[in-house]
Amino acid sequence: GAVVSQHPSWVICKSGTSVKIECRSLDFQATTMFWYRQFPKQSLMLMATSNEGSKATYEQGVEKDKFLINHASLTLSTLTVTSAHPEDSSFYICSAIDSGNYGYTFGSGTRLTVV
């Protein structure tokens, strides 16, 4: 079945630094990927839709200059949290559409802790 690999699985960074999270589709090509954020005991909140070769589409209230998304190839999308602050600490999850599967396959998530 379709596999989406997300890296790193967890990261701790200092306040003010930037962190990059990678999302790869391992056995299929994904023209569209999605980035979610999840705070403790809450549901997944969609942050943005990442489109290969074009700009990402951000949901209302998500700062595009803070959460930089790059989808440079059909198998890789990256999310960079710039100038991270403790309130950015969260569980970040990516998803990709696999045309040969039931649509949406999710990565295992990245736990970001900003200290």
Partner 1 sequence: DAKTTQPTSMDCAEGRAANLPCNHSTISGNEYVYWYRQIHSQGPQYIIHGLKNNETNEMASLIITEDRKSSTLILPHATLRDTAVYYCIVRVDWKWGGATNKLIFGTGTLLAVQP
Residue selected from 21, 79, 97, 112 as contacting partner 1 according to rule CB under 8 A: 97
- Binding-site member from 4, 21, 69, 79 for partner 1 (CB under 8 A): 4
**Structural tokens at position 12:** 């701790």
Nearer to partner 1, 32 or 82 (CB): 32
CB of 99 to partner 1, least distance (A): 8
Q: Tell me how far apart the alpha carbons of residues 82 and 98 are, in angstroms, rounded to a whole number.
A: 29
Q: What is the Cα 98 distance to its own chain's centre?
A: 16
Q: Which residues contact 29 (CB under 8 A, 6 or more apart)?
A: 74, 75
88 near 73, Cβ under 8 Å? Answer: no
* Separation CA 50–CA 33 (nearest Å): 5
What x-and-dash track marks residues 50-89 binding partner 1 by CB under 8 A?
----------------------------------------
**Which positions touch partner 1 (CB under 8 A)?**
4, 6, 32, 34, 36, 43-46, 49, 91, 93, 95, 97, 99, 101-109, 111
